Amino acid sequence: MELRLSEIREKFGEQLAFSEQRGGDPLIRGIRAVESCGEGDLVFVDSKKFAEAASGRKPSAIVTHPMFAEVFAPHEGLGILVTQLVSLAHAIIKSQYADRDFMDDQWPELPPSAVIHPKATVARSALISPNVVVGAGARVGERTRLLSGVVVENDAVIGDDCVVHPNAVIGYGCRVGNQACIGAGTIIGSEGYGFGQDARFKSYRIPQTGIVVIGERVRLGANNCVDRASYGETRIGAGTKTDNLCHFAHGVEIGEDCLLTAMFCIAGSSKVGNRVVASGQVGVIDHMNICDDVWLLHRAGVVKDIETSGKYCALPLQTLGDYKRNMEEAVKLSELAAQVRALQAQVDDLRKA
């Protein structure tokens, strides 16, 4: 990597809304963390803490917010790009210049251990690693990378420019859109949890014969499970990003551009709108509906429909404002209990009198 700061501004200036370039136009050889940067490095600064650290480390170039730009003004020769969108700049610039190159492969040809069914269709530009299995009727798109141990079952479809990490499974008939990233160990199209019971409570499996549809630009973290529907489709909308260890039951529908962090768990046939954010260990019971632009925080438990956008917390589910007030009172419980006991003692004395 060798490029001038002005090249970054020219290429991404409109997308990242750079308001100005200050100082010099240094040669950039790498992108580093603020804590370990030095000469030749580009760093991203969006907090006072990082601004102070970067001032001491003396990188060659900085992308920063307008409120911190003046901190670096005395540094002679330092190149500064100013934008309100520092986090977005970090994502886009590092993805362009310092990401892992999944197409730079140590296995230039089809490895002997890979098994591709004669009736599968794999694009010539796709890359296949050892121990990959692609079943009959499956299709793998252009420039898609299947890392070691991936299984693509019969009639599954993976779009263009996808990365499927080691030991992930794309189940039969399931569909993955373009530019998706599927984490290691993730199962798309696992068996949905559906049983019928007889009079003695002995369970009988209800065949889960639907599919899973993953939209474009979806990122599923490691060890996610997305169950296939009993009938029809389980869907995860375009642009949604999940953390590790998330579970999606059969028939669930997730909207577009959602952010769902670790241990998000949603039961069958529930529907989540667009741009929903969930913090760790959020749970949603079956047949719930959550509208657009909802934040679920502090282990929220969704046991009734959410029809109004906003921030919700805990179980029983409550708005963020109510939750804060209730928590403030909760830390006073021992004090309140002591007051109640004192009042009870006074009442008892009055009764005796």
> What is the domain-level CATH number for residue 78?
3.40.1390.10
Distance CA 112, CA 9 (A): 45
Position 342 in a domain: no
- Residue 63: domain span: 3-97
Residue 108 has pLDDT above 80, yes or no: no
- pLDDT averaged over every residue in the chain: 95
Bond preceding residue 112 cis, omega within 30 of 0: no
Is the separation of the CB atoms in 139 and 158 below 8 Å? yes
The CA-atom distances, in angstroms, between 155 and each of 138, 199, 283 are 4, 38, 32
Same domain, 125 and 93: no
Torsion angles phi and psi, residue 285, rounded to 5: -75, 175
pLDDT at 353: 82
Q: What pLDDT is recorded for position 88?
A: 97
If you average pLDDT over residues 245-260, what whole number do you get?
Answer: 98
- For residue 265, the model assigns a pLDDT of 98
Q: Which of 99-113, 183-197, 302-316 has the lowest mean pLDDT?
A: 99-113
Taking each helix axis from N to C terminus, what angle separates 86-97 and 5-16, rounded to the nearest 10 degrees? 130
Task: Give the span between the Cα atoms of 120 and 137, in whole angstroms.
Answer: 5
Same-domain check for residues 122 and 247: yes
> Mean per-residue pLDDT for 184-213?
97
Give the pLDDT confidence score for residue 76 in this predicted structure. Answer: 82
Q: Is the domain of 37 the same as that of 170?
A: no
pLDDT at 75: 83
pLDDT, mean of residues 21-26: 92
Residue with tokens 């599923």: 220
Q: Each residue of 315-344: pLDDT tens digit?
A: 999 999 999 999 888 888 889 889 999 999
CA trace torsion 22, 27, 32, 36 (10° rounding): -90
Q: Name the band, by pLDDT with cuts 50, 70 and 90, for residue 237.
A: very high
Check if the beta carbon of residue 179 is closer than 8 Å to that of residue 236: no
| Same domain flag for 191 and 298 | yes
Q: What is the pLDDT of residue 98?
A: 95
Helix (H) or strand (E) holding 211: strand 211-214
- Residue 338 belongs to some domain of the structure: no
Structure tokens given for 104: 């730079």
The residue among 63, 172, 154 whose CA lies nearest residue 117 is: 154
Confidence of residue 346 (pLDDT cuts 50, 70, 90): very high
Residue 105 in this model has a pLDDT that exceeds 80 = no
pLDDT at 152 over 90: yes
* DSSP H helical ranges for 83-174: 86-97
pTM of the model: 0.91
Count: domains in the chain: 2
Residues 83 and 121 grouped into a single domain: no
Structure-block tokens of residue 94: 């590092």
Active site residues: 250
More confident residue, 106 or 251: 251
Q: Indicate whether 187 and 223 sit together in one domain.
A: yes
Instruction: Provide the pLDDT for residue 170.
Output: 98
Domain at 212, CATH number: 2.160.10.10
pLDDT recorded at residue 271: 98
Residues 164 and 289 grouped into a single domain: yes
Distance between CA atoms of 252 and 240, rounded to whole angstroms?
Answer: 14
Q: Is residue 348 in a domain?
A: no
Q: How far apart are CA 141 and CA 144, in angstroms?
A: 6
* % of the chain beyond a pLDDT of 70: 100
pLDDT of residue 55: 85
Cα–Cα distance measured from residue 275 to residue 164, given in angstroms and rounded to the nearest whole number:
24
Q: What is the pLDDT of residues 46-77, one digit of tens each?
A: 999 999 899 888 899 999 999 999 888 888 88
| Residue from 126, 113, 122, 121 nearest 137 by CA | 121
